[in-house]
Structures are given as structure tokens and as C-alpha cells.
Amino acid sequence: MNEQQGGEQSGPLPRHVAIIMDGNGRWARARGRARHRGHRAGAEAARAAVEVCAEQGVEALTLFAFSSENWRRPDREIRTLMALFRRALEREGQRIHDNNIRLRVIGQRDQFPVRLQQSMAAAEALTVGNNGLQLTVAAGYGGRWDIRQATQRVARLVALGQMSPDAVDETTLQSHLCLADLPEPDLFVRTGGEQRVSNFLLWQLAYTELYFTDTLWPDFGHEECREAIRWFGQRRRRFGQTTEQLGQAAGYSHA
């Protein structure tokens, strides 16, 4: 695992960081502002997270922007979110490309307005050849949906006789999940004080270190992001092994 060069990071870096960006509405309400002001401020916090992960050498960052459950929100708020998302893609696409970041969007994209789908596709096409930070935006995404669509893909292979049912294992299913080509998240961050994963990357978070903070997302700036990464560097992960098994080997492993 990568080590931070210089600075205050003394332990290993997470290869993949996944974030639930929670608290935009409460941030706006506490300031007597409309909810859309919180979402706008949240977009700036997202930029800060991208900048920190890129500068520190994190390989992948996945941001939970809009869940499958968020469609239940008031129509006006959904329209505002869609407009903000589209403008962010169109405004930030070139900046992302210039910094060698690859962007992609996962989730049920066909549920979004056509113009937003076009903006998603354009940003992905622009950055597809970049090999720096792998930035994923989860939109219209749910962890249960992800597992279901992977299961359906495998079931089709079995139905076509291209795979035996007995050959289906965890590796098979995982290969059909979103983000199958990325390392599973090492660090999960949720802002806003709630302590749950809210149907986000349910399969992929099995061994992830969970970092919860009361800080509302718009206030989660560069230093707060760096602090979460420093916290991860202090964790000792064992992945089912005992501390004695690990011994002194690198002082770090699966938890």
C-alpha cells in the first residue's frame, strides 16, 4: 500500500476512499438559507475531497451524490440537484481532464434527464484515457440494486449455458458489480453525524474502515479530508487474522 511522501501522514494511505456526503440541507437550514444553497456549498466540498485525494496519491475516490432513495425527495429539490449536477459536470469536466483524473458515473442513469445523461457521457468520454485519480460519482445508485444487477448478469450466463451454477462464487459475482475493476474501498467516510452506510456499496464495504464525523458536508474541507486519511493510517487491519499472525510484518494488514 502506498505511503505518503512527506507531510504528517505516517501510516499507509487508503487506495480507495468512498464518501457519503451528508448534511447539505442541515447546513443551509442552520444559516437560514434555502436547501439549494447547501447543495451548492456541498459541491465545493466535493472539489476539496478530489483535490486532497489527488495530491496525496489515493488511487480511487467514490462519491455518493444521489441515491436510489433520493428520488423520494420533493420535486423542486430533485430538479435543483439535477441542474447542479449537470452544471458541475460541464464546468468541472475540463479541469478534471487537465489534472489527469478519470471520471465515471455509476447507477441507474436512464432515470435521469436526457441532457444530464449526455453531460455524464461527455465527461466520461473526455477523461476515459486518464490514469490519475479514478473519480466515481454514484448517482441513482443503491447497493442492493448493484448486487441485483450483478446477479441478473450471472443468471443470464447460466441460462445461456455459458456457466455452470456450481461455478458461481464470490469472485464471479464481484466481477459483475459496479467498480469491479477498482480495489474495494479501504476508507469509508460519512459526514453529518449519522452512523450507517445507507445502501451504499454494500458488497464492497465488507472490510472497509468506517469513519464517521459530525461535520456537515459543506464544512468538510481540505483539512477535514486529510484528517480522515490520517485516521486511516493509524488503523491496524487484520482481515480475519490475529495480531499474533501478523507479527511485525509491515505493521499493517486486513482487519
The single residue of 2, 22, 100, 219 carrying the catalytic annotation is 22
What is the 3 state secondary structure string of the chain? CCECCCCCCCCECCCEEEEECCCHHHHHHHCCCCHHHHHHHHHHHHHHHHHHHHHHCCCEEEEEEEEHHHHHCCHHHHHHHHHHHHHHHHHHHHHHHHCCCEEEEECCHHHCCHHHHHHHHHHHHHHCCCCCCEEEEEEEECHHHHHHHHHHHHHHHHHCCCCCHHHCCHHHHHCCCCCCCCCCCCEEEECCCCCCCCCCCCCCCCCCEEEECCCCHHHCCHHHHHHHHHHHHCCCCCCCCCHHHHCCCCCCCCC
The single residue of 24, 70, 214, 219 carrying the catalytic annotation is 70
70 is a catalytic site residue = yes
Q: How far apart are CA 55 and CA 239, in angstroms?
A: 28
Cα of 33 vs its chain's centroid, Å: 27
Q: How far apart are CA 9 and CA 11, in angstroms?
A: 6
User: Is 195:25 a contact under the CB 8 Å cutoff?
Assistant: no
Residue with cell 495480531: 243
219 is a catalytic site residue = no
Catalytic positions, please? 22, 70
